[in-house]
Amino acid sequence: MDKKYGVLERKIAKFLSQFPMLKSAVKTAYGRLVFLRNRPASKTISGHKFEPVGDDILNTFFGYYDKTPLSEAGFLLCHSTTHATDCKPDSTKTLDILVFLINDLKQPVVSLKTNVYNWQQGARAHWLDADAFIFNDFDAPTQRYISRVFSLQEMREVKRYDFPVQDSFRKDYFLSINYRRIQALRPDYGYRNMPGLGERAISDLKQDGIWKINQETGASSLLYSIADVCEIDFQPCFNAARHKINHVMISPGGDRFIFLHRYFLGKRKFDRLFLAGSHTRELKMLANYEMVSHCFWINDQSVISFMRGPSGHDGYYVLNVDDGTISPYFDGKLDSMGDGHPHVHEDWFITDTYPDKSRMQHLLKASLATGDVQEIGQFFQPFDFHGETRCDLHPRVSPDGSKVFFDSVFNGKRKLYVLQLQA
């Protein structure tokens, strides 16, 4: 029995995306119904060895799929908590930032606390180089979201910035967005220490957008406002819409970055994918076909993305950011698996799926050169984890390509796992 959702089911889901509340209700009810006929025989299926990070009492997770948790020096970075993760984040509870040696995944060598987190990206903790990592926090006296840099060599905090990090380029600069706007419009990726923006602030598009922060000096500037973004292929409906910018990803060379412009008309959302210069005023739209989901840089000239293409078909596409061409990934070879989170390593990438009819999430390795696709694992997601508390696999690859890191709740706890690609 094919446990993947079929073409007709995907077409119905696409149609229902025009009615978000109805889609959510139908998706939940239908998912539970088909699960009764598709219960899995096992909660995990894989021919590869994998092990959890942290002892049994801990929930551990890394966060998003666009960064690797492993440093070039062999240290593993993650988030951790002992409180339940099938509930929405609680701003009165802290989250731990832990660092382990890759050869000892039980006893952390560093443990810090942060006051901000969500279940999809944690506190956005990630490495700046082999020694230092950055993460977000909340400064109560000044009532603002900040970012902190910790050095393993010095075993102390070495920098603090008045802006929270969204993405960084080594120790050169980082880009920041307004997490209060995110909290108001997409709380899955926001923080709850301050209220989300009110309607008046949401409508102010000139003073909000993407900030650039010099890591050496701390100097900051509003690089692009949301108003700047809306001016590109302006539509009259923008005046009635609510806008946000999210999922900023800097190119490997650091000169450019991509981001999503998402706007809402009522409850319905629309996506536009943009390319922007980090040091020059270069801003252009790469895709505007209503839906863009997850992207990753292949190299400085191209990006892989799960999105709606020019023909209206949803699937994996390769975009040339210089000439604007959009090509299906090997004639849609992966598209039957649905949306996923691609993480590129050299000429291949790891991606995942959302739960199928048996609530199994699939972990896949795909070649950018040949189109060959291998399944390397399946992992169960209980119904208790859904909406904001869902646990996508969010796969990431180690710097040497030998390991895959993924988050999963197949055993009832949120855990970061390390999978060895050699079977």
> What is the per-residue pLDDT for 77?
98
Query: What's the chain's length in residues?
Result: 423
Q: Does residue 192 form part of some domain?
A: yes
Nearest to 283, CA basis, from 355, 205, 210, 187? 210
Q: Do 226 and 183 fall into the same domain?
A: yes
Q: Do 160 and 60 fall into the same domain?
A: no
Q: Does residue 371 form part of some domain?
A: yes
CA distances from residue 304 to 75, 258, 330, 343 in whole angstroms, order as listed: 28, 12, 12, 9
* Interval 181-207: pLDDT, tens: 999 999 999 999 999 999 999 999 999
Q: What is the CA radius of gyration of the chain?
A: 20
DSSP 75: E
Q: Which two tokens stand for residue 132?
A: 């230092």
The residue out of 290, 315, 331 marking a domain boundary is 290
Name the one residue in this structure whose structure tokens are 């901000």. Answer: 116
For 296-315, what is the mean pLDDT? 97
Q: Return d(Cα 226, Cα 69) in angstroms, integer.
A: 31
Please report, for the domain that includes residue 279, its CATH number: 2.130.10.10
Q: Do 5 and 139 fall into the same domain?
A: no
- Domain span at residue 21 reads 1-39
DSSP 124: -
Q: Do 51 and 11 fall into the same domain?
A: no
Q: Return d(Cα 294, Cα 24) in angstroms, integer.
A: 20
* Interval 368-404: pLDDT, tens: 999 999 999 999 999 999 999 999 999 999 999 999 9
Beta-ladder partners of 146:
137
Mean pLDDT, the chain, whole residue set: 95
Q: Does residue 310 form part of some domain?
A: no
> What is the per-residue pLDDT for 2?
67
Q: Does residue 335 form part of some domain?
A: no
Q: Does residue 311 form part of some domain?
A: no
Q: How many domains does the chain have?
A: 3
Q: Do 142 and 252 fall into the same domain?
A: yes
Q: Do 34 and 124 fall into the same domain?
A: no
Q: Which two tokens stand for residue 289?
A: 């076909």
Q: Do 67 and 183 fall into the same domain?
A: no
Q: Does residue 33 form part of some domain?
A: yes
Q: Do 262 and 377 fall into the same domain?
A: no
Beta-ladder partners of 209:
225
User: For residue 1, is pLDDT > 60?
Assistant: no
Q: Return d(Cα 304, Cα 302) in angstroms, integer.
A: 7
Q: Dihedrals φ, ψ of 27, to 5°?
A: -60, -45
Q: Do 350 and 398 fall into the same domain?
A: yes
CA distances from residue 265 to 221, 226, 268 in whole angstroms, order as listed: 29, 16, 5
Q: What is the residue type of 212?
A: K
Q: Do 16 and 79 fall into the same domain?
A: no
Q: Do 34 and 49 fall into the same domain?
A: no
* Interval 133-150: pLDDT, tens: 999 999 999 999 999 999
Name the one residue in this structure whose structure tokens are 């239908």. Answer: 30
Least reliable range by pLDDT among 35-44, 94-103, 123-132, 228-237: 35-44
* Interval 235-271: pLDDT, tens: 999 999 999 999 999 999 999 999 999 999 998 999 9
CB 369 within 8 A of CB 351: no
User: Each residue of 277-307: b (16+ CB within 10 Å) or e?
Assistant: ebeeeeeeebbbbbbbbbbbbbeeebbbbbb
> What is the per-residue pLDDT for 423?
52
Q: Does residue 286 form part of some domain?
A: yes
Which ranges constitute the DSSP H helices of 114-167? none
Name the one residue in this structure whose structure tokens are 């809306």. Answer: 230
Q: Do 32 and 54 fall into the same domain?
A: no
Beta-ladder partners of 380:
360
Q: Does residue 316 form part of some domain?
A: no
CB 187 within 8 A of CB 197: no
Sign of CA dihedral 366, 372, 377, 381: positive
Q: Return d(Cα 160, Cα 135) in angstroms, integer.
A: 10
CB 343 within 8 A of CB 350: yes
**Measured distance between the N- and C-terminal CA atoms of the chain, rounded to whole angstroms:** 26
> What is the per-residue pLDDT for 12?
77
* Interval 330-366: pLDDT, tens: 999 999 999 999 999 999 999 999 999 999 999 999 9
What percent of the chain shows pLDDT beyond 90? 90
